[in-house]
Amino acid sequence: MIIIIQCKDQVGLVADISAILSTAQLNIISMREHVDKADNRFFMRLDVDGTSDEILLEKKMKAVLPGGAIIQVNPVPDKKIVVMVTKEYHCLADILIRNNFGTLGAQVLCVIGNHDVLQKICDRFDIPFFLIAYHEDKGISEGEMIRKIKSYDPDYIVLAKFMRILSPEFVANFPNKVINIHHSFLPAFAGANPYRKAYERGVKLIGATAHFVTDDLDEGPIIAQQIIPVNHSFTVADMVKSGQEIETAVLAKALRLVLNDRVFVYRNKTVVFE
């Protein structure tokens, strides 16, 4: 059983939580906790052994935790996701392969694309693909996307190189549920064409960032990042090729963390228990 807790910090929280678990005959297998002193915020992830009435357990914890505490007892282990794409295949292919062999930690319900380039690979893995081309009036195409996504009721939406900026209205429908992979070590080179910007700047490191999507372009809470070295001999094309490999790896890591309930979002930051 997994227990997730986020609340205001106060003296005795760990002792109170442990006492409740002990009374319920639940044994703590692992416990990770963190206190953000600046915001007086407490975060905890518990892996416990045993069976208990989950509703009653949550009620008992709410009785001893500060008001407004966020508690999840035994979140659904196998999440459901919808993937959104444009034309680049590398991140989608990795997700579909992991899904096919049962190592993703989630079920891919469908793929939504604003081009039909990637429909064939979805067909090969027997995953429904829906083409929703972008309309001059963004509200029309996004409205169709929102309706399609909600019809599947996913836990998360994964932007696997979906190369369109989503409106605040779209994001508001799925708070802290949209995960993006950006081809840059944010906050450097946000926005479009980061590899060309990196090449022109003559950087010696390039990277990728997986983050939750907010109204601020490429500034949402960061889940995972990674960098690789480059040098003066790299062309823009070389950077793109190397970058695609790291994008795939970073998105895979971010999904593993999120799908295993190891990521806490608070304001515009994350606490990640790896």
Query: Residue 252 belongs to a domain with what CATH number?
Result: 3.40.50.170
Are residues 43 and 171 located together in one domain of the fold?
Answer: no
Q: Return the CATH number at 47.
A: 3.30.70.260
In tens, the pLDDT along 161-182 reads 999 999 999 999 999 999 999 8
Q: Which of 51, 73, 95 is the last residue of a domain?
A: 73
Are residues 84 and 210 located together in one domain of the fold?
Answer: yes
Q: How confident is the model at residue 185 (pLDDT cuts 50, 70, 90)?
A: low
Please compute the mean of the pLDDT values over residues 98-116 and round it to a whole number: 97
Q: What was the pLDDT predicted at 204? A: 79
Are residues 135 and 214 located together in one domain of the fold?
Answer: yes
Are residues 155 and 106 located together in one domain of the fold?
Answer: yes
Range of weakest confidence among 165-174, 192-201, 258-267: 192-201
Q: What was the pLDDT predicted at 194? A: 72
Range of weakest confidence among 11-25, 93-107, 176-190: 176-190
Q: What was the pLDDT predicted at 203? A: 78
Are residues 104 and 231 located together in one domain of the fold?
Answer: yes
Let me know if 218 is a catalytic residue: yes
Are residues 42 and 83 located together in one domain of the fold?
Answer: no
In tens, the pLDDT along 17-43 reads 999 999 999 999 999 999 999 999 999
Are residues 156 and 210 located together in one domain of the fold?
Answer: yes
Beta-strand (E) ranges in 167-204?
Answer: 178-182
Rounded to whole angstroms, the Cα distance separating 229 from 239 reads 10
Can you tell me whether residue 93 is helix, strand or coil?
Answer: helix
Query: Which of 127-153 are b and which e, b meaning 16 or more Cβ less than 10 Å from the residue's Cβ?
Result: bebbebeeeeeeeebbeebbeebeeee
Please compute the mean of the pLDDT values over residues 65-72 and round it to a whole number: 95
Q: What was the pLDDT predicted at 187? A: 59
In tens, the pLDDT along 224-234 reads 999 888 888 88
Are residues 61 and 85 located together in one domain of the fold?
Answer: no
Q: What was the pLDDT predicted at 127? A: 98
C-alpha distances out from residue 177 to 24, 79, 213, 265, Å:
32, 12, 8, 11
Range of weakest confidence among 83-92, 116-125, 204-213: 204-213
Q: What was the pLDDT predicted at 227? A: 86
Q: How confident is the model at residue 77 (pLDDT cuts 50, 70, 90)?
A: confident
Please compute the mean of the pLDDT values over residues 89-104 and round it to a whole number: 96
Are residues 67 and 179 located together in one domain of the fold?
Answer: no
Q: Which of 41, 56, 73 is the last residue of a domain?
A: 73
Are residues 146 and 174 located together in one domain of the fold?
Answer: yes
Q: Which of 16, 123, 126, 218 does the annotation list as catalytic?
A: 218
Hey, which residues does 84 pair with through a beta bridge?
112, 159
Q: Which domain holds residue 203?
A: 79-272
Are residues 62 and 90 located together in one domain of the fold?
Answer: no
Q: How confident is the model at residue 95 (pLDDT cuts 50, 70, 90)?
A: very high
Q: What was the pLDDT predicted at 229? A: 85
Q: Which of 73, 95, 127 is the last residue of a domain?
A: 73
Q: How many domains does the chain have?
A: 2
Model pTM?
Answer: 0.90
Q: What was the pLDDT predicted at 216? A: 82
Beta-strand (E) ranges in the chain?
Answer: 2-8, 27-36, 41-49, 70-73, 79-85, 106-113, 129-131, 156-159, 178-182, 205-212, 222-229, 263-266, 269-272
* Residue recorded with tokens 């939504």: 112
Please compute the mean of the pLDDT values over residues 136-164 and round it to a whole number: 95
